[in-house]
Structure 1
Amino acid sequence: MRQQLEEEIFGTGQPGGGTGEPNRRAMQSFAALVVSLTVLVGGGFAAYHFIGPAIEKFVATDDYPGPGSGSVTFVVDEGASGSEIAAGLVKAGIIKSTSAFISASSATPDQAKAIQPGSYTMQKEMTAKDALAYLSDPTHRSVKRVTVREGLWASEIYPILSKASGIPVKDYQAAAKNTKALGLPAEAKGNVEGWLFPSTYEFDKKSTAADQLTTMVKQAVKVMTAEGIAKDKWEETLIMASIIEAEAGSSADRPKVSRVFWNRLDEPTGETAGFLQSDATVSYGAKRRAVAPTQAEIDDASNPYNTRAHKGLPPGPISNPGKDSIDAAVHPATGDWLYFVTVNPDTGETKFSTTFAQFLIDQNEFKAWCTANPKAKC
């Protein structure tokens, strides 16, 4: 009966043991008590009228009187089952038995379902009912929440994670080198760039730098799997998505920017001869954030990410793209554009063209913006 109750409330799993856990003989006595009372009284409401108080009295012997005292940190792990939570509470000395917690959960199933992963500062020797109510209240939950926006380099993400967690940047840098431990797919060729999926994360206080990077990599894989992208196309997709993320002036322009670059790749002997000519890739290789690269950076053929000097895609992603850019890489707009230029970086206004002559006209608008904004480092 206790196992059935656990499955109905929390789904699956067996309740754990621990200090104060009723022994097998006590549980057998409890089952016998329920059966005896059921036979004696019969079914329906009458049975509950007699059995209910008996059950409550039995469970009460396995519950602390409360209200509790002292302070103890309790962690609900991601994906923890109800039985695991109950067993952990017993082990921490917060509740007396798992049976009391499961009983409280059966009485208020909405509270049981509201428990979220995170750290909670609780008291020892609480009643199971109070412990459940405390865990179900999100205001009592303490997690490391950090937002990583789209388009950042891995080297820019580590300080953001470090500031939120207190873990040194060097720990993230070291963790990023152990790509096997992070679960980085072989397609990434040992480079985490592009695979640290941007989102808002809630990391447990005990999470390490490796734990956090692993979560981000898993999320990237999850998104690409949901997109239906073939595994042998994951790296290519992320490379293209990262360029789109860096180059698109607005979300609406992403599919059109994607089309421009795919058109260039699809025509290696055409007008653009297979050169992407992306300023963002040049700047990434030069490791300098700028609206546009310098002429010296453009002329630097030693930069493997210089797509003005080298045909095709760069050797790896140039940023960590979000879902919209991944969508755009997979589903480019329909069109024959070969050129585009963001004529106003402040507003993101971008103009697309099919000829180099029109591109030069559009580019003059961008140059005019640069002249009016000398601090923009054009």
Structure 2
Amino acid sequence: MTDEYEPLEGLDDTRDHGGVLGTADPAYEPGRRRRRRSLRSCLAVLVALAIVVGGFYFVVTWGIDKVRDQFGSAEDYPGPGRGNVTYQVVSGATAGSIGRDLKSAGVVASVDAFVEAANASPDWSKLQAGYFALKKEMAAADVVGILVDPANMVTDRVTIPEGLRVVDTVAILAKKTKYKKADFNKVLDKPDSLGLPDYADGNPEGYLFPATYDFGPDATPESMLKAMVTRWQQAADDADLEDAAAALGYTPAELMTVASLVQAEGRGDDMPKIARVIYNRVENPDNGLTNGLLQVDASVNYALGRSTIAVLTQAEIDSVADSPYNTYKQAGLPPTPIEAPGDDAIAAAAHPADGSWLFYVTVNLKTGKTKFTDDYQEFLGFKQELQEYCATQSDRC
């Protein structure tokens, strides 16, 4: 037997180096490498856990926000608001579109709050187009309350009656708005922007349509006059004016002149008959009775520069003998409309009644009763009836 031994496989044959077996490195500490690997593993676990927890927090928070948006109250201002905002409700606007406009303008806090208030209002269906005075940072319900009440509209409401000349229309506009006559006349002097038809030749007489207009606070003389021409175009389209003129053998401009004469001379159901009398006289100048003369008093009054007077004197007729608007002296139609016709007069000119009449007389100026005939002697009897009426009603003649 011997004292020698064989070293274990995988270990160095070493001697005592401070009691450390299996390495020649005096700095080696048993278990150090194992601890480093454990630390890295722990860190990875912690990072993964943080990601999981963070993701869970995001999902939960997002879900809470969605639930709050779905079931919570929409953001709204407490009111009453500050400053001034003028807002225009346009025709066909919805609660959503109005809400978006108002939110952009700082009037309401959110579109949802406005839509909710609109849906809750029993008067929302009464909403009308127009301008309204609001404030910034208003409660949505307060805004809705203002918009649904027409009394809150900020407008210049102007009514232009039928049968007015341009000069008379301008006088009303100047009286009812903040602008002066000169402001409107400046636009009329250069009417290209008004949308007049080409056949008007730049003359607005007859094309400033009689109606009631609501002009907003931002309206200008140009936009007001343009709105009136636009309304005339609507009436012309409704009457199919251009096609009707062609069918009758006239230009659209001539038909508008006839419409203005009808407006000046007639009422209601008599208008299509008066239009027919005018066409009969123009188209049959050799009838032996009228010689192509219309003999319309209103046109002579236009030549005299005044509003209509029922009965003219011979001296007044003679004083403007050379005027193309003197239909007692000049055959055919006057060169332009003499006033603004309304819907009924335009329709009557476009669609005249059938008849052979050459004469008409309004025998009662209060009721508008008018008699028609193609017999000259009967016509003279109608004139006598008018004279008797005027003898007792001089304030109307």
The code of the aligned residue for 1:54 comes to D
Q: Which residue of 2 aligns with 1:214?
A: 226
- Give secondary structure in 2 for the equivalent of 1:301: coil
Query: Match for 2:215 among 198, 203, 222?
Result: 203
Query: Match for 1:255 among 267, 272, 276?
Result: 272
The code of the aligned residue for 1:244 comes to V
Distance 1:363 1:298, change over 3 A: same
1:72–1:92 contact (8 Å) kept in structure 2: no
Distance 1:52 1:178, change over 3 A: farther
Q: Which residue of 2 aligns with 1:351?
A: 371
Distance 1:154 1:77, change over 3 A: farther
* Identical-residue share of aligned pairs (%): 35
Q: Which residue of 1 aligns with 2:40?
A: none
Deviation sequence 1:17-37 (CA, Å, 0-9, x none)? xxxxxxxxxxxxxxx99x979
1:244 offset after TM fit, Å? 0.7
Query: Match for 1:366 among 377, 386, 391?
Result: 386
The code of the aligned residue for 1:57 comes to G
Q: Which residue of 1 aligns with 2:252?
A: 234
Query: Match for 1:266 among 280, 283, 292?
Result: 283
Q: Which residue of 2 aligns with 1:18?
A: none
The code of the aligned residue for 1:93 comes to G
Q: Which residue of 2 aligns with 1:288?
A: 306
Cα distance in 2 between the residues matched to 1:137 and 1:56? 31
- Give secondary structure in 1 for the equivalent of 2:370: strand
- Give secondary structure in 1 for the equivalent of 2:86: strand
The code of the aligned residue for 1:123 comes to K
Unaligned runs of 5+ in 2: 1-58, 246-250
- Give secondary structure in 2 for the equivalent of 1:202: strand
2:121–2:144 contact (8 Å) kept in structure 1: no
Of stretches 239-248 and 263-272 in structure 1, the one that deviates more from structure 2 is 263-272
1:301 offset after TM fit, Å? 2.7
Residue 107 of structure 2 corresponds to residue 90 of structure 1? no
Residue 114 of structure 2 corresponds to residue 101 of structure 1? yes
Residue 161 of structure 2 corresponds to residue 149 of structure 1? yes
Cα distance in 2 between the residues matched to 1:129 and 1:284? 55
Distance 1:305 1:77, change over 3 A: farther
Q: Which residue of 1 aligns with 2:323?
A: 303
1:119–1:205 contact (8 Å) kept in structure 2: yes
Q: Which residue of 1 aligns with 2:74?
A: 59
The code of the aligned residue for 2:273 comes to K
Distance 1:239 1:139, change over 3 A: same
Deviation sequence 1:94-143 (CA, Å, 0-9, x none)? 212445434555x4487665433323232331233432333223232222
Cα distance in 1 between the residues matched to 2:67 and 2:282? 73
1:310 offset after TM fit, Å? 1.4
The code of the aligned residue for 1:246 comes to A
Deviation sequence 1:246-268 (CA, Å, 0-9, x none)? 111x3121111111111111212
- Give secondary structure in 1 for the equivalent of 2:322: coil
Cα distance in 1 between the residues matched to 2:71 and 2:252? 56
Cα distance in 1 between the residues matched to 2:186 and 2:257? 23
- Give secondary structure in 1 for the equivalent of 2:72: helix
Larger Rg: 2
Distance 1:337 1:274, change over 3 A: same
Unaligned runs of 5+ in 1: 1-31, 38-49
Of stretches 315-324 and 291-300 in structure 1, the one that deviates more from structure 2 is 291-300
Cα distance in 2 between the residues matched to 1:136 and 1:371? 54
Cα distance in 2 between the residues matched to 1:336 and 1:281? 23
How many positions carry a matched residue from both structures? 328
1:91 offset after TM fit, Å? 4.3
1:156 offset after TM fit, Å? 0.9
- Give secondary structure in 2 for the equivalent of 1:150: coil
Deviation sequence 1:252-295 (CA, Å, 0-9, x none)? 21111111111111212223232211111111111123222332
- Give secondary structure in 2 for the equivalent of 1:230: helix
Runs of 4+ in 1 over 6 A off after TM superposition: none
1:280–1:292 contact (8 Å) kept in structure 2: no
The code of the aligned residue for 1:328 comes to A
User: TM-score, normalised on structure 1?
Assistant: 0.78
1:75–1:117 contact (8 Å) kept in structure 2: no
1:85 offset after TM fit, Å? 3.4
Cα distance in 2 between the residues matched to 1:362 and 1:101? 66
Cα distance in 2 between the residues matched to 1:90 and 1:252? 52
Distance 1:77 1:195, change over 3 A: farther
1:198 offset after TM fit, Å? 0.9
2:205–2:340 contact (8 Å) kept in structure 1: yes
User: TM-score, normalised on structure 2?
Assistant: 0.74
- Give secondary structure in 2 for the equivalent of 1:142: coil
1:229 offset after TM fit, Å? 2.0
Distance 1:309 1:56, change over 3 A: farther
Cα distance in 1 between the residues matched to 2:349 and 2:227? 23
Q: Which residue of 2 aligns with 1:275?
A: 293
Cα distance in 2 between the residues matched to 1:362 and 1:136? 54
